[in-house]
Amino acid sequence: MEIIFHAHNAPIPTRLRRRAEVALQRLNGRVARAVDAVVRFEQDGPVKRVEIVLHTPRQRNVIALGEARYYGPALNTAIVKLGAQVRKLRRSHK
């Protein structure tokens, strides 16, 4: 699975990129044939946003958004939301 990072007015530390990669690789095992994922880091004043879009063939895109004061908690929120959507998607296809 290819992971694409976008930074909009935001510096992305390497450690944060690695954390996102590890979490997405873990979720990739649960999604049937995930094509790629786009991770967007945005900063708008004191609010930091992390948006994760997971593209899968023949299914709708899975989108999760996390907002917090720092990127770490925002990333965690987005990953938790994405995991919940992936679990729900798997249950509906069985």
What is the CATH classification number for the domain harbouring 87? Answer: 3.30.160.100
- pTM score: 0.87
Amino acid 71: pLDDT: 94
| pLDDT tens for the 94 residues of the chain, in order | 899 999 987 788 899 999 999 999 988 877 767 789 999 999 988 999 999 999 888 778 889 999 999 999 999 999 999 999 888 876 665 5
DSSP sequence for the chain:
-EEEEEEES----HHHHHHHHHHHHHHHTTSTT--EEEEEEEEETTEEEEEEEEE-TTSPPEEEEEEESSHHHHHHHHHHHHHHHHHHHHHHH-
Which residue range(s) make up the domain with 9? 2-93
The predicted pLDDT at position 40 comes to 95
If one counts the domains in the chain, the total is 1
